[in-house]
Amino acid sequence: MYGTLVEPLALAEPLRALVGEQAVQFAGLWRTKQLEYSFRRGLMRRYVDFDVCTQQALQYAQKALKCELPESDQARLLDAYLHLPAFSEVAGALKALKVQGHRLVAFSNGVEGSIRSLLGNVRLLSHLEDVVSVDDLRTFKPDPEVYAYLARRTGRPLAETWLVSSNAWDVIGAKMTGLRAVWVKRQADALFDPWDVEPDLIVNRLDELPVWFANRTT
């Protein structure tokens, strides 16, 4: 979801009116801490849902950058997480993949209700068959259990289930569980972790994926 279908760093725009020149740094720190908190809670088995991680990460970013915001502004920023913009090619890519016969689901650390709201707001929900949330298991990616759960939900063997993600750690988690995986390298300078694990495919944009599948089957 985040960074693959929608752009979480777009929060820099509403942040600009609140924190000025710190907006880009704030958005990046917020996202980094959001992920860190989910990783830590997964390891410690101290689960709270991803919405709580997002809220706590927002509090951390404020303290770290010394820019405490009124509760009303914090509420608007949290609501903005439900209105993140989709990357420009995503809708067309999902349509093309669906026409090819692929079963498409959103698979996220996010709470299902929040993810459905976000996908609905950017008009992507209708292109997807289902939303699979780690909240069902009360743990987070990259726990192997959640990738196995994805395969069970889709009714496909692990080796026939593909994860598509812009997050290298997510791709590695999927591969180590036996899934196939595509890394969406949206930034030219993005690095893939040197863990002796490689994605099955690297693309720069999601609309390269249906082209690859079409060539693969011909």
pLDDT at 177: 98
Identify residue 206 by its one-letter amino acid code. L
pLDDT at 216: 84
Q: Which token pair is 159? A: 């080796």
Q: How far apart are CA 176 and CA 92, in angstroms?
A: 30
Q: How far apart are CA 85 and CA 163, in angstroms?
A: 21
Q: How far apart are CA 92 and CA 199, in angstroms?
A: 23
pLDDT truncated to tens, each residue of the chain (218 aa)?
999 999 999 999 999 999 999 999 999 999 999 999 999 999 999 999 999 999 999 999 999 999 999 999 999 999 999 999 999 999 999 999 999 999 999 999 999 999 999 999 999 999 999 999 999 999 999 999 999 999 999 999 999 999 999 999 999 999 999 999 999 999 999 999 999 999 999 999 999 999 999 998 55
**Domains recognised in the chain with CATH numbers:** 8-80 (1.10.150.240), 90-216 (3.40.50.1000)
Supply the pTM of this predicted model: 0.94
pLDDT at 156: 95
Nearest to 4 by CA among 146, 98, 104: 104
The dihedrals phi and psi of 215, each to the nearest 5 degrees, come to: -70, -30
Helix boundaries (H) for the chain: 12-19, 23-44, 50-65, 71-80, 90-99, 112-121, 144-154, 168-177, 208-216
